[in-house]
Structure 1
Amino acid sequence: MSEDGKRSLSVIAFIGSVFSPWYAWSGRRAPENHVCINVATYGPGGRFTMTDRGSDALRQSRDRFTVGPSSLHWTGSELVIEVNEIGAPPLVSRVRGTIRLRPVALTSVEMPLTADGTHIWRPFAPTCDMRVDLEAPGWQWDGHGYFDANFGTRALEQDFSYWTWGRFPTASGSTCFYDAKRLDGSELGVGVRFNRDGHAETITPPPKSPLPRSLWALRRESRSDPGYKPRQTQAMLDAPFYTRAAVKTRIEGEDTVGVHEALDLRRFRSPLIKPMLAMRVPRRARWTFD
């Protein structure tokens, strides 16, 4: 998110593109044949890019992850993301430039989201300084961000019906909340406070508070101090089953604006969703590196 709160972006690198209809239709047998670097920018001139690419486009090394024309490179002190993608309809245009994330500290936290470890959350760097330099007017700015990962051996909709997640910057670092309802009827409700030195400690999450439903009428809720009503400050991604937004809340007496996500996996299982997604997520099976 930019320092003035007017622009933000997200970058998600996939091996086995979780929300790709092409990966689902393939039976999810070959995750390396459905790879993607999804880039979405929010604010004036915002664009959404998500191209499902085949294994020809994938290159990996210890410090670099490349999918076709875009890549992520860990230098030892920062994550450098080189973007060269095409925005999805109706705003078809190139999204190109460099994003740099410099972690304040790295963590060693690894949190299972299910009892048998089929889904794991790995917050590498919940607090980062961020520099954005994209080839578009107004898309050169500094701000704050985070760097995390999710790993899984099963599809999300096989284990969950609904979840929300939020990361909120604080004076001492960042606080994250993970809430999920599993298909077996159990629930996950975790709060983690990350200090600027990378130390993590679990906290008792404050109460859940409802947020207004999304444009697709997706139910949303966040965490906040008792008596405080969270509110959306910036709309980001809005899909029939998934929403991302900047949300202002209050945690332990401190007002903060962070990124909030809600995901309805029951909706995602609908057979109507995959064809809709295919319109926004093109498939490019072949790639040749120069």
Structure 2
Amino acid sequence: MHWTGDGYLDSNDGDGPLGATFRRWDWCRAPLSQDRTAILYDATDRSGETRELALQVDRSGRATPFEAAAQVRLPRTRWRLPRHTRSDATGAHIARTLQDSPFYARSVLHTNLLGEPTSAMHESLDLDRFAAPLTQAMLPFRIPRAFF
């Protein structure tokens, strides 16, 4: 197999279920010029404390924090899932939603980070919704996904 273009591989690692630590998060990964990538996290933990993380990662894997841009509210999904990101003054908008479920959405957005226009992969996750009995009852059924 052969791939070209931007991509990423991620995983979640810890000692317990994500829902035991987090209520929700919004995450974004955007390629930048000079072989850099911007990664943004906005997370709310079980205590209600919010945390933000903004990193530039270079080709060698070195991560450098940067001042996170202003928070931008994005349109809710068809399931009414709230979502937001961070973007420079010009804002951000959804180009295409790839996955839309009661507790999770993955989208491509057009945004501006560190003064550069870019297309980013974005996700919103609500772990309270995931744990809800109705959502748990729906999990065995496939959620439609969009592909490029």
- Report the AA paired with residue 159 of structure 1: T
If the length of structure 2 is used for normalisation, what is the TM-score? 0.90
Find the counterpart in structure 2 of residue 254 from structure 1.
Answer: 116
5 Å-filtered alignment, 1:8-19, equals: none
Aligned residue among 225, 239, 247 for 2:88 = 225
1:287 equivalent in structure 2: none
Higher relative contact order (CA 8 A, sep 6+): 2
- Where in structure 2 are the equivalents of 1:180-259 lying within 5 Å? 180-226=43-89, 228-259=90-121
**Superposition CA RMSD, Å:** 1.4
Bigger Rg, structure 1 or 2:
1
Per-residue CA deviations over 1:43-94 (Å, capped at 9, x if unaligned) read xxxxxxxxxxxxxxxxxxxxxxxxxxxxxxxxxxxxxxxxxxxxxxxxxxxx
For the residue of structure 2 that corresponds to 1:272, the secondary structure is helix
In structure 1, the gaps of 5 or more residues are 1-97, 101-130, 132-141, 282-290
Structure 2 counterpart of 1:266, which letter?
Answer: D
Partner of 2:132: 270
Number of residues paired by the alignment? 142
Question: How many angstroms does 1:146 deviate by?
Answer: 1.3
How far apart in 2 are the matches of 1:225 and 1:213? Answer: 20
Displacement over 3 Å in runs of 4+: none
CA drift of 1:168 comes to 0.2
Q: Which residue of 1 aligns with 2:15?
A: 153
State the distance in 2 between where 1:149 and 1:276 align. 24
- How far, CA to CA, are the matches of 1:262 and 1:239 in structure 2? 10
Is residue 279 of structure 1 aligned with residue 128 of structure 2?
A: no
Q: Deviations over 1:134-181 (max 9, x none)?
A: xxxxxxxx3210122220211111111110111000002100001100
- Distance in 1, matches of 2:60 and 2:43, equals 28
Percent of residue pairs bearing the same amino acid type: 35
3-state SS in 1 of match to 2:12: strand
2:146 matched residue in structure 1:
none
Q: Whole-Å Cα distance in 2 between the matches of residues 252 and 157 of structure 1?
A: 32
Once the two structures are superposed, the pairs formed by residues 72-151 of structure 1 within 5 Å of their partners are: 98=1, 100=2, 131=3, 142-151=4-13
Q: In the TM superposition, what is the alpha-carbon distance from 1:231 to its structure 2 partner?
A: 0.6
Letter in 2 for 1:149: S
SS, match of residue 8 in structure 2? strand
Residue type at the aligned position of 2:14: G
TM-score between both structures, scaled by the size of structure 1: 0.47
Equivalent residue letter for 2:120: G
Deviations along 1:259-285, one digit per CA (max 9) or x if unpaired, are: 00000111111101112111229xxxx
